[in-house]
Amino acid sequence: MPKEERDPIMDIVNNDASMYQELENIFIRWYRHGTHWKPTKALAVAKATRFAGMIGQEHSQKDIREAAKEILEDYENFKKYHEGKLQQIKTSESDEAKLVQFWDTSLHPDVAAQAKHYEEIVRRGGIHFFRELIPAPPAVVKAALEQGDYALETIPAEAWLQAATQIPYLPGRELSPEEKVEALKHVARWHYGI
């Protein structure tokens, strides 16, 4: 009589929402131990054995070892992803601090206050999102800024207004069309055409 085909343990875990969430929670707990801590193979085997029991099928020791190996590999990928995100945040915070310092030391206080205000808005909405809406290529924005066009009026007002219509409601409060345009111009000045 042919042996019943079983799905590999981790295929089942990755396709079952509650088991996948449990695996994510395990990775989060492991990650909180620090980046130098590594789960042991025995720990991964214990987790794989638990998942095999949750599935309710008979699994060989080979299946469990294979699942444990996948758990360790998946954890390494999870750790790399989160370390990359952390580095992005640190870089972003460092860049913001440098900008604020520049504004405080190089701009008129009113202009610096306006820059800080719009920086908060665009960070809330996502700088990358605003960048995608700028109605001119970076080279055009850079050239305008180099020619002293801080208001970016060499780019047609209609283009700015059209781009601003694509900005949705941002947490906090609704922005007027003029504020949306100014938020786009802020990103163009400080995060795009430089």
Q: Where are the domains of the chain?
A: 9-86, 108-192
184 or 1: which leads in pLDDT:
184
Query: Which pLDDT score is estimated for 87?
Result: 65
Query: Which pLDDT score is estimated for 150?
Result: 86
Q: Which tokens in the block code for residue 168?
A: 């949705």
Instruction: Please give the Cα distance from 32 to 22 (Å, whole number).
Output: 15
**What residues have CB less than 8 Å from 142, skipping those under 6 apart?**
193, 194
Q: How confident is the model at residue 152 (pLDDT cuts 50, 70, 90)?
A: very high
Query: Which pLDDT score is estimated for 21?
Result: 86
